[in-house]
A and B are shown apart, each in its own frame.
Chain A
Amino acid sequence: MGRPLLTSPILCAFLLAAPAPALAAETVLVESGTTMRYLSNLSDPGIGLSWTAQGFNASAWPSGVYGVGYELATGAQNLIRTTVPGGSSSVYTRATFTIANPAAVTNLYLGADYDDGYAAWINGVPVHLSPQMPSGNPAWNSRPASHESTNGQVPGYEPLVDISSAGIPALRAGENVLAIGVWNQTATSSDLVLVPRLSINRPVAIKRGPYLQSGAPDSVVIRWRTDRPADSRVMFGPEPGLLTSVVEDASLTTDHVVKLAGLSPDTRYYYAVGTTSDLLAGADADHYFATSPAPGASRPTRVWVIGDSGTADAGARSVRDAYEAFAAGGPRANLWLMLGDNAYQDGTDAEFQAAVFDMYPGLLQNTVLWPTLGNHDGHTADSSTQSGPYYDIFTLPTAGEAGGLASGTEAYYSFDYGDIHFICLESYETDRSSGGAMLTWLREDLVSTNRKWIIAFWHHPPYSRGSHDSDFDIELIQMRENALPILEQGGVDLVLAGHSHSYERSFLLDRHYGYSNTLTSGMVKDSGDGRDEGTGAYRKPPAAASPHEGAVYVVAGSSGSIGGGRLNHPAMYLSLNSLGSLVLDIDGRRLDALFLDGRSRVLDHFTILKKTAHPPRAVAAVAPRVECVSPSGAMVTLDGSASTDEDSAPGAATDIVEYRWMEDFGQPAERLLGTGERLDVTLPLGSHAITLEVIDSGGDADTDQVDTSVVDTTPPEMALTVRPETLWPPNGRMVRVSASVAAQDLCGDVEVVLESIASSDASESPVPQGRRGGPDIRGAGIGSFDLDFELRAERAGPETSRVYTITYTAADRSGNQAATSALVTVPHDRHRNSPSPSSP
């Protein structure tokens, strides 16, 4: 496991101020086209091995360039640039190269395209003998024990052999000599070829991966293999060019396992892998991973499922290519399940290389792979000790690292992806009894999850009549008898298996634990096709982990080859002898599955809905007009109690789980008013479009819209006083009068204006002129909020009074208006100063 050295992006940004390290370049000293001197041997040249020494004088040898040899038939002619006589038993060659500083040489690699065997020396020190060569010092006519020839259009130097231990000490500063000979297996051979390649400071090369394991909301494991031991570094970040975080492990290994922790859920990260000195892969748009969604979060999820895919042949390739063509037009898989028999025949490391890593390199570098053990994988893997290639290659959760309960073993495990709980069982080498550790764990794991969907997978199918028969094979029988009751009690929705090389898909089943002939109609909860356009999707109650509500069982073991069989298990809706893979799309309460064949054709599909049978019906009620009672408006009662759902208990709407009241539903200004069957909500003055949305337990929804208005029909209330109320003495002077107006309205602001000032002295109407000249009313802003004005203290004669009537009006926002008046009197004497306004 990688030891996180640096995980702070900020810290790393400083430490990694330089760009990500580029791929280091090796120095090639000798290769095709390199000048050399050579000696072809039709007879003994009589020089023993002296020709290999650095000081040997080869100036008399002809000069040429690599490759050297002859071709009397066809095959190697494109490799040979220096031809020697046919029938040569061997050819000795010498090439010089310069090393400025031997201490700076970290490694030395030699490879060759050759036929039939070769041996090499550096400065006279033997550094390599090809496997065909007899042991010991070769003579001019030594015979390789076997034939070797790649002989393509271009030199194939692989395998490159690390000759550092013998070669580096032999190097000298300055000129060095590579002496390399090639030998024929027989003198009558039609060809002899040597095209060597010698290089120094060859960087570590990646041989496998990178690939992603144990994805979780906050972590992921990245693995890769190098051609020789090296330390490990993973850089990652939000963009391919912004890999600002790094995790390193200083230990030297060829199988690199680095865990990245502290990640954000549901987030895409780009990454690169390498050593602390070299970048080996990544830092581009193709190397990324996405963390799992937060636990329980619902998001569209695609799962690619392949079973028995480990054939490493055209069949597996066609299934892969068909899926990639299919996925090119839609979302990529978020995760990827392998249902066992991942590498034929025996799950060896080399077979995994061919069947997994060479087969799916693109998918592996950006999709987390979750495998289960198949019987063929089990030939070389031992679940009892979690050892062997399968367990060495995969890093799987044992302690609930990715969700679920700790299983204590990589043989079986569970994990969450958002609102989906995945359970992987081991059906081959692990105790399948109901009292065993695996099924004990399973029981507890199921009661510990509250995810919306439960998908289980393992290798041996509980129902199959493909290339294996679930009435006969013990693993199949025991998984059916022992695991299925627990899973169905735990509310499993979908069970995936392989083993039979076919595609078989069941009806929605429950409690079928016996042989195929014990299947009854009561065990088939839905005998339809599970298709929207057919008999309808399979429906299950929406509650998570509802026991015994039915599950669909799929055998998807034809991702590498087809195996035929009777294909007539009565539990199956459909059985096909076709290559293919399964694609799952899960979104909220809907799971769509389709079987995609090797030509991207959809040969089957079905849907599971976690919904009730009937949608709800929303009925909203509200008073059409409500009198405003405060500046906030009015309390309005929204009533959804007339809403119905046929899935409810009689006379109730118990299946409706949520009432949502919204205003301006569907408009940019949409706002949630509140929730509840009845809702008292304060609405402001004006018209309101109210929408009720009801949602049932299956997630179905309905809406109903009603309109209501909050109105204001009540005029404002007013109070008016003026000071002074009496003008005395009636000396004709202008007297300042101040009014005080109080106006209020329940629904808010009011506008107050001075409506009029009238004098009782008709002769001076409308603008009375004082006897001294000028108006009797001055400074009054009629029609405005004017509280101060001047009135003339004057009357028509000593026997009469004058009365000024001051009137204000107040209007609210709804246009309701009120008026009030006050009097200012100029009495005829000091004792009669309060006549009514109508007094003459």
Chain B
Amino acid sequence: MRHPAPALLCSLICLVSAPPATAHEALDRQISSLTLRIEADPEDAALWLHRGELHRLRSEWRRALADYRVARGLEPSLDAVDLCLGELWLDRGRARRAARALDRFVARHPGNAFALAARARARAALGKHLAAADDYTSAISAAGPASPLPDYYLERARAQAAAGPPFLDAAIRGLEEGAERLGRPVSLLLPLIDLEARAGRDRAAQAHRDEVEAQKARARSGGR
């Protein structure tokens, strides 16, 4: 699964080095533009990090890593480098390295939901399903009173289910919690059906199935 550039990253980078006027170029042209700006101001770590991130989005790993290293060298306290590194290693399927970079970032930004979710994916890829689930729980908490995306609940349940049958109940409870909080979207009810069935609770599975069908029927009739 690929994720886009995080909002946090953009707030760290794009706001620092927003391109002029309304430029909205393709990645290569943005990279060219940033290269010119780096030549004019080679000490600006944010510019290097921004260009590295654009390289990452183009899957140019070596160039991205090189720019990240320069950015870190120029400004060791630029935490976003670790978040970008984590994303890069996740993109490359190097979960262990991703987890290490994200550990560093999360240690300094424990309430960053995006970073927590990214580390959860790295941990899940490493088979650390319960640790991944914990990160998703933290990401959900980090959303505060706002509503998190259903994905956090969904991925947490998947991680818990992957941890083995003893954790199916936790996965089901977590999905129920998410469904209740988010207005019972089908994106959580469908996996709930699956997990209830795996847990042998056919009546519960059927009840959720009925709930989904009722929602669909209501949508078809235009009823709200």
Contact = CB atoms under 8 A, between A and B. Distances in A.
Interface of A: 216-218, 294-296, 308, 311, 313, 341, 344-346, 375-376, 378-388, 391, 398-411, 416, 428-433, 435-438, 440-441, 444-445, 447-450, 467-469, 472-475, 478, 501, 560-561, 563, 565
Contacts of A430: 149, 151
B40 interface: no
Given A407-B185, A440-B187, A429 B6 contact: yes
Contacts of B58: 472
12 contacts: A345-B14, A345-B18, A386-B146, A386-B148, A391-B146, A404-B219, A406-B186, A409-B149, A430-B149, A440-B154, A440-B190, A449-B219
A438 B4 CA distance: 14
Contacts of A344: 22, 24
A375 B14 CA distance: 11
B26 interface: yes
B150 interface: yes
B108 interface: no
A65 to B, nearest CB: 45
B138 to A, nearest CB: 12
Nearest to A313: B22
Contact of B149 (A384, A388, A403, A473): A384
B7 A440 contact: no
A437 B156 CA distance: 12
Contacts of A440: 154, 186-187, 190
Given A405-B185, A406-B183, A561 B149 contact: no
Given A384-B148, A441-B185, A563-B24, 16 more contacts: A346-B18, A376-B24, A382-B8, A384-B152, A385-B147, A403-B222, A406-B186, A409-B147, A428-B4, A433-B2, A437-B188, A444-B212, A448-B220, A467-B25, A473-B57, A478-B2
Contacts of A376: 24
A448 B146 contact: no
A411 B219 contact: no
B222 A563 contact: no
B215 interface: yes
Contacts of B38: none
B150 A408 contact: yes
A375 B30 CA distance: 14
Nearest to B223: A295
Q: Tell me the dominant secondary structure on chain A's binding face.
A: loop
A346 to B, nearest CB: 6
Contacts of B178: 408
B134 to A, nearest CB: 17
Interface string B1-35: 11111111011001100110010111111000000
A437 B154 contact: yes
B102 interface: no
Contacts of A407: 150, 185, 187
B18 A385 contact: no
Given A344-B22, A406-B215, A468-B26, A436 B10 contact: no
Contacts of A408: 147, 150, 178-179, 182-185, 187-188
Nearest to B139: A384
A436 B152 CA distance: 10
B183 A431 contact: no
A311 B218 contact: no
Contacts of A468: 26
Query: Which 7 A-B pairs have CB atoms at the shortest separation, nearest pair first?
Result: A295-B222, A408-B185, A408-B182, A437-B187, A437-B150, A448-B216, A448-B219
Contacts of B179: 408
B117 interface: yes
Contacts of A473: 26-27, 57
Contacts of B7: 378-384, 388, 429
B193 to A, nearest CB: 12
Contacts of B218: 400
B148 A399 contact: no
B114 interface: yes
Contacts of A449: 219-220
Interface string B113-137: 1100100000000000000000000
Given A433-B2, A473-B26, A295 B221 contact: yes
A217 B223 CA distance: 10
B166 interface: no
Contact of B216 (A405, A432, A561): A405
Contacts of A428: 4
B200 interface: no
Interface of B: 1-8, 10-11, 14-15, 18-19, 22, 24-29, 57-58, 113-114, 117, 139, 142-144, 146-152, 154, 178-179, 182-188, 190, 212, 215-216, 218-224
A388 B173 CA distance: 29
Contacts of A406: 183-186, 215
B51 to A, nearest CB: 16
Nearest to B20: A345
B1 A448 contact: no
B24 A431 contact: no
B90 to A, nearest CB: 13
Most buried by B among A346, A376, A440, A467: A440
B183 A398 contact: yes
Contact of B146 (A375, A385, A437): A385
Contacts of B152: 384
B190 A382 contact: no
Contacts of B183: 398-399, 406, 408
Contacts of A467: 24-26, 29
B187 A346 contact: no
A441 B186 contact: yes
B154 A436 contact: yes
A441 B151 CA distance: 11
Nearest to A427: B4
Given A403-B222, A440-B186, A472-B27, A385 B22 contact: no
B147 A386 contact: yes
A803 to B, nearest CB: 83
Given A380-B11, A467-B25, A468-B26, A433 B114 contact: no
A560 B185 contact: no
A341 B24 CA distance: 10
B26 to A, nearest CB: 5
Contacts of B223: 295
Most buried by B among A217, A448, A475, A478: A448
A237 B131 CA distance: 56
Contacts of A472: 26-28, 58
A3 to B, nearest CB: 18
A446 B117 CA distance: 28
A346 B14 contact: yes
Contact of A561 (B1, B22, B57, B151): B22
Contacts of A313: 22
A261 to B, nearest CB: 10
A431 B142 CA distance: 18
Contacts of A387: 143, 146
Contacts of A416: 222
Most buried by B among A218, A378, A410: A378
B139 A345 contact: no
A91 B142 CA distance: 54
Given A345-B22, A386-B146, A448 B215 contact: yes
Nearest to B13: A379
A405 B186 contact: yes
B182 A444 contact: no
B19 to A, nearest CB: 8
A111 B113 CA distance: 43
A475 B1 CA distance: 12
Given A384-B139, A437-B150, A346 B15 contact: yes
B105 to A, nearest CB: 15
A565 B57 CA distance: 19
B149 A411 contact: yes
A379 B212 contact: no
A403 B10 contact: no
Nearest to A478: B2
